[in-house]
Structure 1
Amino acid sequence: MKETNQPRGPLLTGFPPVADERCRILILGSMPGKASLDVGQYYGHPRNHFWRLLYALLDGGAPEPSYEARIRFALSRRVALWDVLRSCERQGSLDAAIRRPEANDFERFYQRCPYIRFVFFNGSASEQLYRRYVKPVEKDAALRCYRLLPSSSPARAMTFSAKLEAWQPLREAWLSGAEG
Protein backbone atom coordinates (compact mmCIF):
# COMPACT_ATOMS: atom_id res chain seq x y z
CA MET A 1 0.00 0.00 0.00
CA LYS A 2 2.86 2.33 -0.77
CA GLU A 3 2.82 5.18 -3.21
CA THR A 4 4.79 4.33 -6.35
CA ASN A 5 5.15 5.59 -9.88
CA GLN A 6 2.98 2.73 -11.14
CA PRO A 7 -0.39 3.49 -12.68
CA ARG A 8 -2.89 3.84 -9.89
CA GLY A 9 -5.98 2.39 -11.52
CA PRO A 10 -9.59 3.44 -11.17
CA LEU A 11 -11.11 4.82 -7.99
CA LEU A 12 -13.07 1.99 -6.40
CA THR A 13 -15.76 2.29 -3.75
CA GLY A 14 -16.58 -0.60 -1.43
CA PHE A 15 -19.87 -1.83 -0.05
CA PRO A 16 -21.80 -0.73 3.02
CA PRO A 17 -21.49 -3.01 6.04
CA VAL A 18 -23.67 -6.06 6.42
CA ALA A 19 -24.55 -5.68 10.08
CA ASP A 20 -27.21 -5.05 12.63
CA GLU A 21 -27.17 -4.06 16.29
CA ARG A 22 -27.21 -7.73 17.39
CA CYS A 23 -23.89 -8.65 15.73
CA ARG A 24 -21.11 -9.91 18.00
CA ILE A 25 -18.48 -10.85 15.38
CA LEU A 26 -17.05 -8.67 12.62
CA ILE A 27 -15.15 -10.15 9.67
CA LEU A 28 -13.11 -7.55 7.82
CA GLY A 29 -11.69 -7.76 4.35
CA SER A 30 -9.47 -5.10 2.82
CA MET A 31 -11.45 -4.01 -0.26
CA PRO A 32 -13.69 -6.09 -2.53
CA GLY A 33 -11.93 -7.62 -5.51
CA LYS A 34 -12.94 -6.97 -9.09
CA ALA A 35 -15.26 -10.00 -9.32
CA SER A 36 -17.06 -8.97 -6.13
CA LEU A 37 -17.39 -5.37 -7.28
CA ASP A 38 -18.70 -6.57 -10.66
CA VAL A 39 -21.51 -8.60 -9.05
CA GLY A 40 -22.07 -6.22 -6.11
CA GLN A 41 -21.55 -8.93 -3.48
CA TYR A 42 -19.16 -9.57 -0.65
CA TYR A 43 -16.88 -12.46 -1.60
CA GLY A 44 -18.47 -12.72 -5.03
CA HIS A 45 -15.61 -14.52 -6.78
CA PRO A 46 -16.86 -18.06 -7.46
CA ARG A 47 -13.60 -19.62 -6.20
CA ASN A 48 -13.43 -17.60 -2.98
CA HIS A 49 -13.80 -19.93 0.01
CA PHE A 50 -15.45 -17.37 2.29
CA TRP A 51 -19.07 -18.57 2.15
CA ARG A 52 -18.11 -22.25 2.36
CA LEU A 53 -15.97 -21.48 5.40
CA LEU A 54 -18.66 -19.44 7.13
CA TYR A 55 -21.35 -22.05 6.61
CA ALA A 56 -19.07 -24.93 7.64
CA LEU A 57 -17.90 -23.18 10.79
CA LEU A 58 -21.29 -21.90 11.93
CA ASP A 59 -23.35 -25.05 11.42
CA GLY A 60 -24.95 -24.01 8.18
CA GLY A 61 -24.25 -26.94 5.86
CA ALA A 62 -23.76 -25.94 2.23
CA PRO A 63 -24.00 -22.25 1.35
CA GLU A 64 -27.29 -21.04 -0.06
CA PRO A 65 -27.12 -20.19 -3.76
CA SER A 66 -28.80 -16.82 -3.20
CA TYR A 67 -26.65 -13.94 -1.98
CA GLU A 68 -29.57 -12.56 0.03
CA ALA A 69 -29.90 -15.91 1.85
CA ARG A 70 -26.17 -15.90 2.58
CA ILE A 71 -26.46 -12.43 4.10
CA ARG A 72 -29.43 -13.55 6.22
CA PHE A 73 -27.36 -16.55 7.35
CA ALA A 74 -24.45 -14.36 8.48
CA LEU A 75 -26.76 -11.99 10.34
CA SER A 76 -28.66 -14.89 11.94
CA ARG A 77 -25.31 -16.00 13.38
CA ARG A 78 -24.69 -12.42 14.51
CA VAL A 79 -21.78 -12.01 12.12
CA ALA A 80 -21.15 -8.67 10.45
CA LEU A 81 -19.18 -8.23 7.21
CA TRP A 82 -17.32 -5.17 6.08
CA ASP A 83 -14.05 -3.98 4.62
CA VAL A 84 -11.43 -1.73 6.15
CA LEU A 85 -11.42 0.54 3.12
CA ARG A 86 -14.24 2.74 1.89
CA SER A 87 -12.34 3.51 -1.30
CA CYS A 88 -8.99 3.20 -3.01
CA GLU A 89 -7.33 3.20 -6.39
CA ARG A 90 -6.34 -0.22 -7.65
CA GLN A 91 -5.57 -2.03 -10.90
CA GLY A 92 -6.96 -5.58 -10.74
CA SER A 93 -7.84 -7.28 -7.45
CA LEU A 94 -4.57 -7.72 -5.57
CA ASP A 95 -4.21 -5.93 -2.25
CA ALA A 96 -0.62 -5.11 -3.14
CA ALA A 97 -1.95 -2.84 -5.91
CA ILE A 98 -3.99 -0.64 -3.53
CA ARG A 99 -3.14 3.04 -3.75
CA ARG A 100 -4.64 6.05 -1.93
CA PRO A 101 -6.63 4.04 0.61
CA GLU A 102 -9.43 5.71 2.55
CA ALA A 103 -10.73 3.88 5.62
CA ASN A 104 -14.36 3.36 6.52
CA ASP A 105 -15.87 5.17 9.51
CA PHE A 106 -15.40 2.60 12.26
CA GLU A 107 -16.32 4.95 15.08
CA ARG A 108 -19.82 5.26 13.65
CA PHE A 109 -19.95 1.54 12.87
CA TYR A 110 -19.08 0.52 16.43
CA GLN A 111 -21.70 2.94 17.76
CA ARG A 112 -24.28 1.30 15.50
CA CYS A 113 -23.09 -2.21 16.47
CA PRO A 114 -22.09 -1.86 20.12
CA TYR A 115 -21.93 -5.60 20.86
CA ILE A 116 -19.07 -6.42 18.48
CA ARG A 117 -16.54 -8.26 20.63
CA PHE A 118 -14.55 -10.22 18.07
CA VAL A 119 -12.89 -8.77 14.99
CA PHE A 120 -11.45 -11.22 12.48
CA PHE A 121 -9.23 -10.10 9.62
CA ASN A 122 -9.73 -12.03 6.39
CA GLY A 123 -6.10 -11.88 5.33
CA SER A 124 -3.06 -9.88 6.35
CA ALA A 125 -3.79 -6.84 4.16
CA SER A 126 -7.01 -6.11 6.07
CA GLU A 127 -5.14 -6.36 9.37
CA GLN A 128 -2.34 -4.09 8.18
CA LEU A 129 -4.76 -1.50 6.79
CA TYR A 130 -6.81 -1.56 9.99
CA ARG A 131 -3.78 -1.12 12.21
CA ARG A 132 -2.52 1.73 10.04
CA TYR A 133 -5.71 3.69 9.41
CA VAL A 134 -8.25 2.68 12.07
CA LYS A 135 -6.49 1.51 15.22
CA PRO A 136 -4.85 4.86 16.03
CA VAL A 137 -8.27 6.56 16.33
CA GLU A 138 -10.30 3.60 17.57
CA LYS A 139 -12.20 3.98 20.84
CA ASP A 140 -12.98 1.19 23.32
CA ALA A 141 -10.56 -1.16 21.57
CA ALA A 142 -10.00 -3.03 24.83
CA LEU A 143 -13.49 -4.42 24.46
CA ARG A 144 -12.62 -6.29 21.28
CA CYS A 145 -10.47 -9.32 20.51
CA TYR A 146 -8.60 -9.24 17.19
CA ARG A 147 -7.52 -12.27 15.18
CA LEU A 148 -5.83 -12.70 11.80
CA LEU A 149 -7.15 -15.48 9.56
CA PRO A 150 -5.63 -16.63 6.28
CA SER A 151 -7.35 -15.01 3.33
CA SER A 152 -10.34 -16.84 1.87
CA SER A 153 -9.29 -15.53 -1.56
CA PRO A 154 -8.41 -17.97 -4.33
CA ALA A 155 -5.12 -16.05 -4.60
CA ARG A 156 -4.17 -17.52 -1.19
CA ALA A 157 -2.57 -20.84 -2.15
CA MET A 158 -4.06 -23.01 0.57
CA THR A 159 -6.52 -25.89 0.43
CA PHE A 160 -10.05 -25.45 1.71
CA SER A 161 -9.43 -27.96 4.53
CA ALA A 162 -6.30 -26.08 5.65
CA LYS A 163 -8.24 -22.79 5.65
CA LEU A 164 -11.09 -24.43 7.55
CA GLU A 165 -8.66 -25.56 10.24
CA ALA A 166 -7.03 -22.12 10.43
CA TRP A 167 -10.44 -20.43 10.68
CA GLN A 168 -11.49 -22.47 13.77
CA PRO A 169 -11.03 -19.44 16.09
CA LEU A 170 -14.09 -17.93 14.39
CA ARG A 171 -16.15 -20.96 15.38
CA GLU A 172 -14.74 -20.84 18.91
CA ALA A 173 -15.72 -17.17 19.25
CA TRP A 174 -19.21 -17.95 17.96
CA LEU A 175 -19.62 -20.88 20.35
CA SER A 176 -18.26 -18.88 23.29
CA GLY A 177 -21.40 -16.84 23.40
CA ALA A 178 -20.92 -14.46 20.55
CA GLU A 179 -23.98 -16.03 18.96
CA GLY A 180 -26.26 -15.56 21.93
Structure 2
Amino acid sequence: MPKITEARILIIATHGFEQSELEFPRDQLRVKGATVHVATPDGKPIKGWEGSDWGRAAEADLSFDAIDVAGYDALVLPGGQINPDLLRVDDRAIETVKAFARDGKVVAAVCHAPWLLVEAGLAKGRPMTSYPSIKTDVVNAGAEWVDQSAIADGGIVTSRNPNDLKDFVGKIVEEIEEGRHAKKAA
Protein backbone atom coordinates (compact mmCIF):
# COMPACT_ATOMS: atom_id res chain seq x y z
CA MET A 1 0.00 0.00 0.00
CA PRO A 2 1.32 3.48 -0.85
CA LYS A 3 2.14 5.75 2.07
CA ILE A 4 1.53 9.49 2.20
CA THR A 5 5.19 9.95 3.12
CA GLU A 6 6.13 8.57 -0.32
CA ALA A 7 3.44 10.45 -2.26
CA ARG A 8 4.08 13.10 -4.88
CA ILE A 9 1.18 15.52 -5.18
CA LEU A 10 0.55 18.22 -7.77
CA ILE A 11 -1.57 21.31 -7.18
CA ILE A 12 -2.64 23.27 -10.26
CA ALA A 13 -3.92 26.81 -9.89
CA THR A 14 -3.87 30.29 -11.33
CA HIS A 15 -4.56 33.81 -10.08
CA GLY A 16 -7.61 34.14 -7.86
CA PHE A 17 -7.28 30.83 -6.00
CA GLU A 18 -8.94 30.80 -2.58
CA GLN A 19 -5.96 31.45 -0.28
CA SER A 20 -6.68 28.76 2.29
CA GLU A 21 -7.71 26.18 -0.31
CA LEU A 22 -4.23 26.14 -1.82
CA GLU A 23 -2.13 26.84 1.29
CA PHE A 24 -3.82 24.47 3.76
CA PRO A 25 -3.67 21.31 1.60
CA ARG A 26 -0.17 22.18 0.33
CA ASP A 27 1.20 22.77 3.82
CA GLN A 28 -0.66 19.95 5.59
CA LEU A 29 0.24 17.36 2.97
CA ARG A 30 3.89 18.45 3.28
CA VAL A 31 3.68 18.14 7.08
CA LYS A 32 2.40 14.58 6.57
CA GLY A 33 5.53 13.85 4.53
CA ALA A 34 4.30 14.17 0.93
CA THR A 35 6.22 16.01 -1.76
CA VAL A 36 3.90 18.74 -3.05
CA HIS A 37 4.49 20.86 -6.15
CA VAL A 38 2.45 23.80 -7.43
CA ALA A 39 2.00 24.24 -11.19
CA THR A 40 0.76 27.51 -12.70
CA PRO A 41 -0.02 28.32 -16.33
CA ASP A 42 3.39 29.95 -16.93
CA GLY A 43 5.42 28.64 -14.00
CA LYS A 44 5.37 32.03 -12.29
CA PRO A 45 3.93 32.90 -8.84
CA ILE A 46 0.17 33.41 -8.64
CA LYS A 47 -1.87 35.72 -6.44
CA GLY A 48 -4.49 34.34 -4.09
CA TRP A 49 -7.86 35.73 -3.07
CA GLU A 50 -8.63 36.14 0.62
CA GLY A 51 -11.91 37.50 1.96
CA SER A 52 -12.89 40.36 -0.32
CA ASP A 53 -9.49 41.24 -1.78
CA TRP A 54 -6.29 39.89 -3.28
CA GLY A 55 -4.18 37.87 -0.89
CA ARG A 56 -0.66 36.45 -0.84
CA ALA A 57 1.30 35.02 -3.73
CA ALA A 58 1.99 31.31 -4.01
CA GLU A 59 5.30 30.25 -5.51
CA ALA A 60 5.24 27.92 -8.50
CA ASP A 61 7.45 24.87 -8.97
CA LEU A 62 6.62 24.36 -12.64
CA SER A 63 4.43 25.45 -15.54
CA PHE A 64 1.45 23.54 -16.94
CA ASP A 65 3.57 22.68 -20.01
CA ALA A 66 6.16 20.96 -17.78
CA ILE A 67 3.68 18.66 -15.99
CA ASP A 68 4.55 14.97 -16.18
CA VAL A 69 1.49 13.16 -14.83
CA ALA A 70 3.50 9.93 -14.45
CA GLY A 71 5.58 11.64 -11.76
CA TYR A 72 2.63 12.23 -9.40
CA ASP A 73 0.18 10.22 -7.32
CA ALA A 74 -2.52 12.86 -6.86
CA LEU A 75 -3.84 16.16 -8.19
CA VAL A 76 -5.33 18.86 -5.94
CA LEU A 77 -7.56 21.60 -7.34
CA PRO A 78 -8.11 24.62 -5.08
CA GLY A 79 -11.27 26.65 -5.49
CA GLY A 80 -12.19 30.27 -5.21
CA GLN A 81 -14.44 31.73 -7.87
CA ILE A 82 -11.80 33.17 -10.18
CA ASN A 83 -9.23 30.35 -10.30
CA PRO A 84 -11.42 27.41 -11.42
CA ASP A 85 -13.42 29.62 -13.77
CA LEU A 86 -10.18 30.54 -15.59
CA LEU A 87 -8.83 26.98 -15.50
CA ARG A 88 -11.95 25.31 -16.87
CA VAL A 89 -11.28 27.01 -20.22
CA ASP A 90 -7.55 26.16 -20.18
CA ASP A 91 -7.10 23.02 -22.29
CA ARG A 92 -3.86 22.13 -20.50
CA ALA A 93 -5.59 22.20 -17.10
CA ILE A 94 -8.51 20.07 -18.28
CA GLU A 95 -6.20 17.58 -20.02
CA THR A 96 -4.19 17.30 -16.78
CA VAL A 97 -7.35 16.52 -14.81
CA LYS A 98 -8.40 13.92 -17.40
CA ALA A 99 -4.93 12.32 -17.44
CA PHE A 100 -4.82 11.89 -13.65
CA ALA A 101 -8.30 10.32 -13.71
CA ARG A 102 -7.45 8.05 -16.68
CA ASP A 103 -4.43 6.75 -14.76
CA GLY A 104 -6.56 5.96 -11.67
CA LYS A 105 -4.83 8.63 -9.62
CA VAL A 106 -6.47 10.73 -6.93
CA VAL A 107 -8.09 13.97 -8.14
CA ALA A 108 -9.29 16.26 -5.35
CA ALA A 109 -11.37 19.42 -5.87
CA VAL A 110 -12.69 21.83 -3.25
CA CYS A 111 -15.28 24.65 -3.32
CA HIS A 112 -15.73 25.88 -6.94
CA ALA A 113 -13.01 23.55 -8.32
CA PRO A 114 -15.51 20.74 -9.09
CA TRP A 115 -16.22 22.93 -12.15
CA LEU A 116 -12.99 21.39 -13.50
CA LEU A 117 -14.31 17.88 -12.83
CA VAL A 118 -17.52 18.79 -14.68
CA GLU A 119 -15.52 20.18 -17.61
CA ALA A 120 -13.35 17.05 -17.70
CA GLY A 121 -16.44 14.79 -17.81
CA LEU A 122 -15.78 13.20 -14.41
CA ALA A 123 -19.02 14.08 -12.60
CA LYS A 124 -21.53 11.76 -14.25
CA GLY A 125 -22.80 8.97 -12.04
CA ARG A 126 -20.80 9.80 -8.95
CA PRO A 127 -21.61 11.34 -5.56
CA MET A 128 -19.98 14.75 -5.27
CA THR A 129 -20.12 17.89 -3.22
CA SER A 130 -19.10 21.48 -3.92
CA TYR A 131 -19.70 25.04 -2.90
CA PRO A 132 -23.52 25.42 -2.88
CA SER A 133 -23.55 28.02 -5.68
CA ILE A 134 -22.31 25.45 -8.23
CA LYS A 135 -24.57 22.62 -7.04
CA THR A 136 -26.80 22.98 -10.13
CA ASP A 137 -23.77 22.74 -12.45
CA VAL A 138 -22.61 19.56 -10.68
CA VAL A 139 -26.10 18.02 -10.78
CA ASN A 140 -26.60 18.99 -14.44
CA ALA A 141 -23.31 17.18 -15.21
CA GLY A 142 -24.88 13.98 -13.86
CA ALA A 143 -23.48 13.82 -10.33
CA GLU A 144 -25.47 13.09 -7.20
CA TRP A 145 -24.82 16.22 -5.11
CA VAL A 146 -24.41 15.51 -1.39
CA ASP A 147 -24.11 18.13 1.36
CA GLN A 148 -21.11 16.61 3.15
CA SER A 149 -17.72 18.02 4.20
CA ALA A 150 -15.73 15.66 1.94
CA ILE A 151 -16.67 12.77 -0.34
CA ALA A 152 -14.43 10.24 -2.07
CA ASP A 153 -15.63 8.10 -4.94
CA GLY A 154 -13.18 6.00 -6.92
CA GLY A 155 -10.30 8.35 -6.25
CA ILE A 156 -12.27 11.52 -6.95
CA VAL A 157 -12.44 13.67 -3.79
CA THR A 158 -14.71 16.70 -3.46
CA SER A 159 -15.28 19.14 -0.63
CA ARG A 160 -17.52 22.16 0.01
CA ASN A 161 -15.56 25.11 1.38
CA PRO A 162 -12.60 26.31 3.51
CA ASN A 163 -14.31 25.13 6.72
CA ASP A 164 -14.01 21.56 5.41
CA LEU A 165 -10.29 21.61 4.56
CA LYS A 166 -9.23 19.32 7.41
CA ASP A 167 -11.68 16.64 6.19
CA PHE A 168 -10.63 17.32 2.57
CA VAL A 169 -6.96 16.68 3.36
CA GLY A 170 -7.93 13.59 5.37
CA LYS A 171 -9.80 12.14 2.38
CA ILE A 172 -6.87 12.92 0.05
CA VAL A 173 -4.50 11.00 2.35
CA GLU A 174 -6.98 8.11 2.65
CA GLU A 175 -7.42 7.85 -1.13
CA ILE A 176 -3.66 8.04 -1.84
CA GLU A 177 -3.00 5.28 0.68
CA GLU A 178 -5.65 3.07 -0.97
CA GLY A 179 -3.57 3.11 -4.18
CA ARG A 180 -4.69 3.29 -7.80
CA HIS A 181 -8.41 3.47 -8.46
CA ALA A 182 -10.21 1.67 -11.26
CA LYS A 183 -11.79 4.00 -13.77
CA LYS A 184 -15.53 4.35 -13.19
CA ALA A 185 -17.57 3.93 -16.34
CA ALA A 186 -19.80 6.90 -17.10
Which protein is richer in strand relative to its size?
2
TM-score (norm 2): 0.40
TM-score (norm 1): 0.41
Query: Computing the radius of gyration over CA atoms, which structure comes out larger, 1 or 2?
Result: 1
